[in-house]
Amino acid sequence: MKQLSTLTKDAFKSVIDNFGFLLAVQLLGSLIPLGVVIVWGVFALFSEKAGDTTFGSDSGTILFGALFMIVMVFANSVYYAANVLAVRDAYEKKKRKKYGEYFKAAFGLMAKVTAVTIIMTALVIFGLIFLIIPGLLVAYYLMFALMVVVLEKKSIFGALSRSFNLVSQNFWPLLGKIIVFGICYLLVVIATNFIPLVNIVVSIFANMIAIMFIYVLYREVIEKEKHSAKK
């Protein structure tokens, strides 16, 4: 497996070379969850003006809050899937599709991506209930699951199993790279947190780098797997 510096350089170069394209997909994808928030806010406002107290009651708050979270998970699943497909095409220098095609494909994967996201979140929370380390390990072992769903079209549990196997076979080489990259990512985001506008810009760019970096790692372990199979 390549060194962290090489993998990071590859990820940065690919993002810079395709910045406009990836930024457009990011921004278009962001409109989906943003649209959910706006529609939800307008609906709540009109309900309040019409004298409907459902939103204000305890049961209503819980019910609508849960429904809102579910809709947001679906929206974010489309956002993530579209970005992964765009990152793949950018890194592999494939012919770019129309933006609508990425989101059409993402909508087709929405149910599976959402299901995997919910299961992953539940498993991580379950691990964190006992100790922080088990929760982090679960997140680490399943870090490729969403990418596997999007790129390999695996089933829900097939994607979870596939990610677990890929990470298990490359546990230590991947662990060091993820820890170093994760720390750098957090430091950059936290350092700009006190300037809202700068933080938004940096977060968008950092998110592009993060998705690209995970894709580069995923590609590395897949290439290693193919190479081993030929021996």
State residue 54's pLDDT score.
Answer: 59
State residue 51's pLDDT score.
Answer: 66
Distance (Å, rounded) from C-alpha 231 to C-alpha 224?
11
State residue 55's pLDDT score.
Answer: 58
Q: Which of 147-156, 160-169, 180-189 has the lowest mean pLDDT?
A: 180-189
- Going 179 to 162 to 134 to 67, the CA torsion angle's sign is positive
Please tell me the total number of residues recorded for the chain in this structure. 231
pLDDT bracket for residue 162 (50, 70, 90): very high
> In the 8-state DSSP scheme, what is residue 97?
P
Question: By percentage, how much of the chain surpasses pLDDT 90?
Answer: 67
> Residue 76 corresponds to which tokens in the numbers above?
């974010």
Distance (Å, rounded) from C-alpha 87 to C-alpha 95?
12
Domain edges within the chain: 4-225
Mean residue pLDDT of the chain comes to 90
State residue 129's pLDDT score.
Answer: 84
Higher pLDDT, 196 or 81: 81
**pLDDT tens per residue, range 98-146:** 999 999 999 999 999 999 999 999 999 998 887 778 889 999 999 999 9
Q: Is 136 exposed, middle or buried (0-12, 13-18, 19+ CB in 10 A)?
A: middle
State residue 66's pLDDT score.
Answer: 79
State yes or no: pLDDT of 210 exceeds 90.
Answer: yes
**pLDDT tens per residue, range 12-44:** 999 999 999 999 999 999 998 888 888 877 877
Distance (Å, rounded) from C-alpha 163 to C-alpha 120?
11
State residue 123's pLDDT score.
Answer: 93
